[in-house]
Amino acid sequence: MFSVTVRDHMMIAHSFRGEVFGPAQRLHGATYVVDATFKRPTLDDDNIVVDIGRATEELRAVLAELSYRNLDEEPDFAGVNTSTEALAAVVADRLADRIQAGALGDGARELAGLAVTLHESHVAWATYERPL
């Protein structure tokens, strides 16, 4: 399996519901380093997994929809604990929608999978992986 990973970051504010989250129940900020890994079993006709420039642009566009926002105030997240794990899935699903719509080119429609990792710090991160 071949893979290509691109990286960007996002800064958000949010809070959590539930005693398990301790002080994170209060409003706080988070800065995530975000990796998006595109996977396919064979290279396309251009001998690539995906165009790195286009992949970077689409990741940046998805993250721009979330960055510098209080996610507690966003209708898409009403009643949802926006954990690192949950946000990784949101980013992956939004990227998958863009791939299927052709934003990464026709060859990218042949991708087999996508994994999105949100690095919360240098010692903790979460990944969501999905088929395409």
Q: How far apart are the first and last CA of the chain?
A: 14
CB neighbours of residue 104 within 10 Å: 21
> Residue 30 belongs to what domain range?
2-131
pLDDT score, position 66:
97
pLDDT tens for 39-69 read 999 999 999 999 999 999 999 999 999 999 9
CATH number at residue 119: 3.30.479.10
Residue 91 in contact with residue 62, Cβ under 8 Å? yes
Categorize the per-residue pLDDT at 37 as very low, low, confident or very high, splitting at 50, 70 and 90. very high
Report, as an integer, the average pLDDT of 23-32. 96
| Domains identified in the chain, total number | 1
pLDDT score, position 121:
93
Report, as an integer, the average pLDDT of 65-86. 96
